[in-house]
Homo-oligomer: A and B are copies of this chain.
Amino acid sequence: MLLNETAEKIRSMEIRGAGRIARSAVGALRDHAAGLETSDTASFLRSMKEAADLLVATRPTAVSLPNAVQTVMRSLEGAKSVDEAKAAIKAAADSFILSSKHAVEWIGEIGARHISDGDVILTHCNSEAALACILTAHREGKAIEVFATEVRPRNQGLLTIRALNDAGIQTNFIVDSAVRSYINDVDLVITGADAITVNGAVVNKIGTAQIALTAHEARTPMVVAAETYKFAPRTILGERIAIEERETGEVLDRRIAAGLPHVRVRNPAFDVTPARYVDLIVTEIGAIPPAMAYMIIRDHLGWGIGEFHKAFEIDERIQE
């Protein structure tokens, strides 16, 4: 697929989902590199840099996209010829795509080890990674029971209970407000994440933070299942994750709202769970405490100190 085509599909949301976006961008970069016909290293690198910038610009607030692009681009460091560079990009891209495809599966294997026979698990929203942990434990023969929440206003809990029902797992379905009534019967909370910041805070579907607080009050462990590309590098530079406010009709029928001029509907899609309420984050490369988010960003995703210096354009300043 041509680079511009991929960029356009990401921009138009034809390509959706943190994982698919990431893999498409990586594949486009790899193919773009393969197709470049120059043998001049400098011009090759310049062209790749332009391609990377083009892709990242399609969705400026996405987290997985810059992580994916960075993974490929840093493979260029030290390449001494265009051929070496192309090979390095191909290797990095293939490895990223493989790892991304398998990530949920590996998270499921790691997370399932935290589930014991007889456990009662609570989950919120409809996270592929969190479900992988539960379904893997079930497949391993552990007798488990699940509490799943409704997840207002879009009711993603329905998708979750369908998946659990289809697997034959005994499931309880409750409104979001009822978590504290049952949490003393729960052995483990597992949720997904939309993004994880440098200090281990977890951005996830609205309601997650209240559940984490409730679990903490009852000494029930809280595990977050998330692919490494969910870790948000720019938070190291102080950038805060913007919490999208979705359209209000999801919460209150627009016709009713029209008759209530003094009422304003607020519909934040996500909330932020502080690191101190998260016991463990399960990624495809292992389970870590939330305080280790910085290491994932630096060592695994490759956003080292050099990257930050570039961000501040230190070299130019030195010239002054």
Q: Which residues of A contact B (CB under 8 A)?
A: 98-99, 102, 106, 109-114, 116, 150-153, 158, 161-162, 164-165, 168-184, 187, 198-200, 206-207, 209-210, 213-214, 217-220, 235-240, 243, 251-252, 256, 260-268, 271, 274-276, 279-280, 282, 285-289, 291-295, 300, 305, 308-309, 312, 314, 317-318
Contacts and interface: CB of A to CB of B under 8 A. Distances in A.
A170 B264 CA distance: 8
B176 A287 contact: no
7 residue pairs, one from A and one from B, having the closest CB atoms: A177-B207, A113-B238, A110-B238, A291-B291, A199-B289, A236-B286, A218-B219
B289 A198 contact: yes
B181 A251 contact: no
A269 B283 CA distance: 31
Given A113-B240, A164-B262, A199-B287, 4 more contacts: A168-B262, A175-B251, A177-B207, A198-B280
B237 A209 contact: no
Given A178-B268, A266-B172, A305-B300, A98 B289 contact: no
A260 B165 contact: yes
B177 A176 contact: yes
Contact of A169 (B236, B262, B287, B305): B262
